[in-house]
A and B are shown apart, each in its own frame.
Chain A
Amino acid sequence: MELKKYKELKAKAMQQMGSEVKEIKMTCLEQWLFENGYGNISFASYEDAKKWIEENVTDSKKRRDFYKTEEAVDEVLQGIMKDLEFGSSSKGTKVARKVAHKYIIPAAKVVLSAVILNYLATKGVEIGLRKVSQNLYEKMTSWPNNIKLLDKESLQGIKENLLEFLEAQGKGILEKFTDSIIPFAKKITSAAVGLLEIVGIYGINKKTKYIRKLREVKNKNEDLENENSELKEQIREGNAGEEKNEIKGKREAALKNTGKYQQMQYIVNELKKFFKDGKIDIPDIPVKCVSMEEYGKKLRESLQSQNIPPIKRQEVYAVLDIYKNSIEYMCSELRLGKCGIVKNTMRTIEGKLQQIKSLALDIADGTSYTIKQFVRVALKKGTGKSDVTGARDSQINDRENGNIEEHN
Chain B
Amino acid sequence: MKEETIEKSIKDEYKDVLAITEEEIEKMSFLEACNYVEKLNEIIEKIEKNSTEEEL
Residues of chain B within 8 A of A95, CB atoms compared: 31, 34
Interchain Cβ contacts within 8 Å, total number: 79
Residues of chain A within 8 A of B41, CB atoms compared: 10, 84, 87-89
Per-residue CB proximity of A5-19 to B under 8 Å, as 1/0?
A: 011011011101100
Most interface-central of B7, B26, B38, B43 (chain A CB within 10 A): B38
- Nearest-CB distance from A190 to chain B (Å)? 25
Residues of chain A within 8 A of B40, CB atoms compared: 6, 9-10, 13
A205 at the interface (CB under 8 A from B): yes
- Nearest-CB distance from B29 to chain A (Å)? 3
Residues of chain A within 8 A of B28, CB atoms compared: 13, 16, 20
Q: Which of A1-50 contact B (CB under 8 A)?
A: 1-3, 6-7, 9-10, 12-14, 16-17, 20-21, 23-24
Q: Which of A64-123 contact B (CB under 8 A)?
A: 77, 80, 84, 87-92, 95
- The answer to whether B44 and A20 have CB atoms under 8 Å apart is no
With A3-B47, A3-B48, A201-B30 as given contacts, are A89 and B37 in contact (CB-CB < 8 Å)? no
Residues of chain A within 8 A of B25, CB atoms compared: 9, 12-13, 16
Q: How far is the CA of A89 from the CA of B45 in the complex (A)?
A: 11
| Contact of A10 (CB < 8 Å), options: B3, B35, B44 | B44
B13 at the interface (CB under 8 A from A): no
A204 at the interface (CB under 8 A from B): yes
- The answer to whether A84 and B38 have CB atoms under 8 Å apart is yes
Residues of chain B within 8 A of A2, CB atoms compared: 7
Most interface-central of A3, A7, A16 (chain B CB within 10 A): A16
Per-residue CB proximity of B2-35 to A under 8 Å, as 1/0?
A: 0100110000000000000010011011111111
Q: How far is the CA of A20 from the CA of B30 in the complex (A)?
A: 5
Chain B count of residues within 8 A CB distance of the other chain: 25
- The answer to whether A80 and B34 have CB atoms under 8 Å apart is yes
- The answer to whether B44 and A17 have CB atoms under 8 Å apart is no
Q: How far is the CA of A92 from the CA of B3 in the complex (A)?
A: 30
- Nearest-CB distance from B27 to chain A (Å)? 8
- Nearest-CB distance from B45 to chain A (Å)? 6
- Nearest-CB distance from A147 to chain B (Å)? 30
Residues of chain B within 8 A of A202, CB atoms compared: 31
Residues of chain B within 8 A of A201, CB atoms compared: 30-31
B residues contacting A by CB (< 8 A) are 3, 6-7, 22, 25-26, 28-38, 40-41, 43-45, 47-48, 51
- 19 CB < 8 A contacts A-B: A1-B47, A2-B7, A3-B44, A6-B43, A9-B25, A13-B36, A13-B37, A17-B33, A20-B29, A23-B30, A77-B30, A84-B34, A92-B31, A92-B34, A201-B30, A204-B30, A204-B31, A205-B29, A205-B30
